[in-house]
Amino acid sequence: MADGQLNNYKLMKKVFIINFLLIITIIIILELIFNIFKLSNLMGIKSGLIYKENKSHYLYPNKTGKIFNEKVFTDKFSFRVPEISFKYLSDKNIYIIGDSVAFGNGVKEQNTFVGLLRIKYDKKNFLNSSVPGYQIKDHVINIPKVKNFKNVEKIIYFFTLNDVYQTSNILDINNKDNSDEGSYYLRDFKIIEKLNFYLRDKSYLYMFIKGIGTDPSKRWFSNVLNEYKNKKLDYFKKDIEIMKTFSDENNSEFYVIILPYEFQTRNCSNNILLPQKNIIEILSKSNINFMDFTKNFCDQKKPKKLFYKFDPMHLSKDGHMLVFNLLNDKINF
């Protein structure tokens, strides 16, 4: 190699290394900025919290872990509690049923609507049986656990629109959660899927770019809307009536609380609210007590702030406070 070519090669190598280091430095700085100013949120579920058994999945009891980058604790019943040493002190119980929204992904337990109820009504136990990824089929399987507790005054089911899915939102039980993403397109690209899992759990910058560039709330809602347009939901009617019958036999008041998707709160038009209309029709015909909080979300000045950043349905701290206030006003605890 001639001296001139060698010098050009060394120069190109030097330029490449400098640019590479510069890009890495910029990415690190941006990560710190997005983290410090909370411009986005992480969405990973640490492995070891969830296991699969039979036709459902469960949280391990007496476990500490992280979900959406927030430390969580479970008790001996596998219910979410404020701390690992938490003790129930009352003989009166309120039983909470739900998925990751009622579980409170990404929010400290004390700031979730269940945690706030627990603090205000400290003479009663709030048993939060919610599990990320659960649908109506999972609730039917697990509601008999109520029999393990005496004096269950109320069973409150927090319904989110994707509860009508007949497959779990948790795709890889032993690794990460892959909340639906609107369609399961990443399953066909394993390397991209694994990279997506990793970055959702680690990179605030990635979550910001993904949120701005793809509008996940719109994508997720479009997918779930198809369920309500294309299916009769007879299976939902059957399952919710099983839950109601079980509650009646247990002498517990049964409530269904309907919570909206973030995309719906952007204009709240009738066609956007088709899922709620269909669910309300089923609940009304089945004589089930329900409350639809969708309008309350729509009436807020900045409803987007009620949700976890770039997330279709998980609530922020403000969203949990709104639901707590509505529950406090509408239900006699």
**Per-residue pLDDT tens digits for 160-194:** 999 998 765 554 434 444 444 444 444 455 777 77
CA angle at residue 181 from 60 to 165, to 5 degrees? Answer: 70
SS3 state at 220: helix
Q: What is the mean pLDDT of the chain?
A: 89
User: 98 near 157, Cβ under 8 Å?
Assistant: yes
Q: Does the pLDDT of residue 7 top 60, yes or no?
A: yes
Q: Is the pLDDT of residue 270 over 80?
A: yes
| Per-residue pLDDT, 174 | 41
- In the β-sheet with 64-67, what is the strand arrangement from edge to edge? 64-67, 70-74, 80-81
Model pLDDT for residues 108-151, shown as the tens digit of each residue: 999 999 999 999 999 999 999 999 999 999 999 999 999 999 99
Task: Say if CB 292 and CB 258 are below 8 A apart.
Answer: yes
Q: What is the pLDDT of residue 179?
A: 42
pLDDT of residue 59 exceeding 70:
yes
Pinpoint the alpha helices (H) of 252-314. Answer: 274-285, 294-298
pLDDT band at 306 (very low <50, low <70, confident <90, very high): very high
Strand ranges inside 76-203, DSSP E: 80-81, 93-97, 125-128, 152-159
In sequence order, the β-bridge partners of residue 56 are 53
Higher-confidence residue: 33 or 169?
A: 33
pLDDT for 98 beyond 60? yes
The more confident residue out of 5 and 289 is 289
pTM confidence score? 0.89
Kindly give, in sequence order, each residue whose CB lies less than 8 Å from that of residue 156, ignoring residues fewer than 6 positions away. Answer: 94, 95, 96, 97, 255, 257, 331
Radius of gyration of the chain from its Cα atoms, rounded to whole angstroms = 23
Per-position DSSP letters for 88-106, written without gaps between them: ---S-EEEEE-SHHHHTTT
pLDDT, average across residues 302-315: 96
CA 75 from centre of chain = 20
Question: By percentage, how much of the chain surpasses pLDDT 90?
Answer: 66
Phi then psi dihedrals of residue 5, to 5 deg: -65, -40
Average confidence (pLDDT) over 80-105: 96
> What integer pLDDT is reported at residue 175 of this predicted model?
42
What's residue 121's pLDDT? 97
Percent of the chain surpassing pLDDT 70:
91
Average the pLDDT over 277-293 and give the result. 97
Strands (E) located in the chain: 50-53, 56-59, 64-67, 70-74, 80-81, 93-97, 125-128, 152-159, 253-258, 289-292
The residue-averaged pLDDT of 284-293 equals 97
Q: What are the b/e assignments for 27-56, b being 16+ CB within 10 Å?
A: eeebbeebeeeebbbbbbbbeebbeeeeeb
Question: What's the rounded Cα separation, in Å, for the pair 179 and 307?
Answer: 16
